[in-house]
Chain A
């Protein structure tokens, strides 16, 4: 895997688009976190403050992980661009011609998914530590709600894995980005509503992206919302379902990569 990632690094390190998009995301995520944790951005009106400034680690981990989730759909565009570039330039063929197995090409892309998921999680972790400590929280409290950082990692693997799988099947960047974002922000919401409101099923919680998104619900940031949002699921089940989806992306993508013409 290390050798595969070394080659992927050669491809990425001179790709300005990747760096510009990545830096923009890093800045915007940090700014959003700062605005929410410090209370500059708030919910409520006419003097009513729902959020308020709260630098306790318990609150910081909730907020940082939730904001990272909000950005993750858009962050997945990076995976889509890096994968569909190979099809656009036809370098996926050349990589195989030059000596990679198809499996290695596939694993190299999953390597990027894992590394980016790790980096995003690490970034969330560093932000949490920074905002918590600079806000005056005690280091002894750092473990309060720290589990959210693990949820971020699972969520990133899920979102990025889905983005990779769609890219392997559809191959064209524009089409993949539009379909992915429509699914992430519209289709799954409609499906969820249909399943829960029309059919009275809780299956909507376990849809591909929702299974991870529900690990980091809005109630983590805005506690009052928990009064109107039904939480009829357990985090253990959500984690299990998320991991099942990630495994499904891997299997489906692998079959596609190994069996089809390039």
Chain B
């Protein structure tokens, strides 16, 4: 299947700062593609380049197998950095401008305002909106006329917890409808809940990319407490299948190969004369994996 966008060796510098360094990856059709990275890693720069707002120093990108960039952008809904609207115009009038730029009709405005919960304020001027409402309007504009692709840069900025949950749900629903979503965020918990694919950036370099279930191989961790730690730690180190042990206060955190279970650990310790007071399986979060990758 042809990728939605194919990015090849994109580089970008701001003076001496290398914002992006030969970044390449493909975004598969129908995926929810998370672009992750700490602040200053180049996420927004990358999205701005593929939306033609910034000029790359080198490299190239191809939307939809080589469609003209402006025609491609008209099929994409995009929220990049901040909501950008005419302050003196109402939400409704601003959406008319967005629709005209996309060469679409203006009939879809009420639907998208309903989705983002702004129907009652549709005639209020943009400058009277709160930060969260501005963000909602930007998401609404991105949804005009059911785009094939959504590019969302920090879409939950300024939203309250309810708003964040609504956006998460919206992304899930859109994804189910087959819309490809490229989302940059530092809220890893949010990404983890919705993404099928990720690309992780650090200081402009692509650390890894691919399907979440391949890239972020589940290395579950098991927490153990019990008896004398000086005895427990070497005992567990000797156990087959235990690959690493971290000591956090009085808790030992074990990284094990896939076939080791908590039952086996318990039985092993009892066989060595150690009674455990705490035994718990912890799923490794995307955040833990991300921190490991970006702190290397």
Which residues in A have some Cβ–Cβ distance to B below 8 Å? 6-7, 10-11, 14-17, 85, 89-91, 93-102, 104, 259-262
B103 and A99 contacting across the interface, CB-CB below 8 Å: yes
Chain B window 92-115, contacts with chain A (Cβ cutoff 8 Å), 1 for yes, 0 for no: 010011101111000000000000
B55 and A11 contacting across the interface, CB-CB below 8 Å: no
- The answer to the question of B143 belonging to the interface, with a C-beta cut-off of 8 Å to chain A, is no
- The answer to the question of B74 belonging to the interface, with a C-beta cut-off of 8 Å to chain A, is yes
Taking CB atoms, residues of chain B closer than 8 Å to A95 are 101
A99 and B80 contacting across the interface, CB-CB below 8 Å: no
If over half of A's interface residues share one DSSP class (helix, strand or loop), that class is named, otherwise mixed; here it is helix
Binds A, one of B46-54, B205-213, B247-255, B264-272: B46-54
Residue from the set A90, A96, A97, A104 with the largest chain B CB neighbour count within 10 Å = A97
- The answer to the question of B78 belonging to the interface, with a C-beta cut-off of 8 Å to chain A, is yes
- B52, closest chain A residue (CB): A96
Taking CB atoms, residues of chain A closer than 8 Å to B84 are 89-91, 93-94
Q: Chain B nearest CB: distance from A159 CB in Å? A: 25
* A-B interface, 3 closest residue pairs, ranked by CB to CB distance from nearest: A99-B74, A98-B101, A94-B84
A98 and B74 contacting across the interface, CB-CB below 8 Å: yes
A10 and B55 contacting across the interface, CB-CB below 8 Å: no
A7 and B97 contacting across the interface, CB-CB below 8 Å: yes
A94-B84, A96-B52 known; A10 and B93 CB under 8 Å? yes
A11 and B86 contacting across the interface, CB-CB below 8 Å: yes
- A88, closest chain B residue (CB): B87
- The answer to the question of B85 belonging to the interface, with a C-beta cut-off of 8 Å to chain A, is yes
A11-B86, A98-B101, A99-B74 known; A93 and B53 CB under 8 Å? yes
Taking CB atoms, residues of chain B closer than 8 Å to A96 are 51-53, 73
CA distance A54 to B70 in the complex (A): 56
CA distance A102 to B53 in the complex (A): 9
**What is the interface size of chain B, counting residues whose CB is below 8 A from a CB of the partner?**
28
Taking CB atoms, residues of chain B closer than 8 Å to A7 are 97, 100-101
Taking CB atoms, residues of chain B closer than 8 Å to A17 are 88
Residue from the set B85, B97, B102 with the largest chain A CB neighbour count within 10 Å = B97
Contact of B70 among A15, A16, A85, A99 (CB under 8 A): A99
CA distance A93 to B100 in the complex (A): 15
Contact of B100 among A10, A102, A262 (CB under 8 A): A10
- A100, closest chain B residue (CB): B101
CA distance A7 to B101 in the complex (A): 7
- A14, closest chain B residue (CB): B89
CA distance A96 to B74 in the complex (A): 9
Residue from the set A10, A11, A16, A94 with the largest chain B CB neighbour count within 10 Å = A94
Q: Chain B nearest CB: distance from A236 CB in Å? A: 41
B53 and A16 contacting across the interface, CB-CB below 8 Å: no
CA distance A96 to B93 in the complex (A): 18
Q: Chain A nearest CB: distance from B94 CB in Å? A: 9
Q: Chain B nearest CB: distance from A73 CB in Å? A: 25
Can you list 18 pairs linking A and B with CB atoms under 8 Å apart? A7-B100, A10-B93, A11-B89, A11-B97, A14-B88, A14-B89, A15-B88, A91-B85, A94-B84, A96-B51, A97-B53, A97-B78, A98-B102, A99-B73, A99-B101, A99-B102, A100-B70, A262-B53
